[in-house]
Amino acid sequence: MYVVMAERPAVFTVAPWGHRILVPAVVHAMGLRTVVRGFRLLSFASIVAAGGLLFLFLRRRGATDGAALLGLVLFGLTPPMARVVETPFFLEPAGILLVLSLLLAIEWGAGWATLALLAALLSLAKDGVIVLTLVPAVLVARWSGGRRDALLSALALVL
């Protein structure tokens, strides 16, 4: 389905896939002769970038370099990562990249506009429910800095 969406983005709107437009739109915008190559490149780049963000996230949460590298290796050896390599048409690589971006943004204290942008992109790449599950994390992470900031940041994710 996502290949068809990348080939003809204006035409394809079949539920339940029609709202997951980000990855097919990016592949379409790449302008490669075949969208299959675009999906492969985007999947690979997303997983590599997600690995870097996972390392940064683990370090930020207090893991040593060795522990963060071990986490990265274990992440790479999971069965879902094998499926990503076998079938590049899944949207999971971009979804994982955006979830990790959002987690790091929360961890680094990014502003509500950044959180809203990442939440919107994640909703366009995968299901918006993922974003809603992070609202409590934002509230907990930001509560000590002030209720107003915590509530605005959580509201940015909800909207």
Residue ranges making up the domain that contains 56: 2-158
> How many structural domains does the chain have?
1
C-alpha of 22 from chain center: 11
Per-residue pLDDT tens for 94-131? 888 998 998 899 889 888 888 888 888 888 787 666 66
Report the C-alpha gap between 157 and 159 in whole angstroms. 6
Contacts of 119 (CB under 8 A, 6+ apart): 102, 131, 134, 156, 157
Residue spans of the chain under pLDDT 70:
1-20, 127-133, 137, 140, 142, 157-159
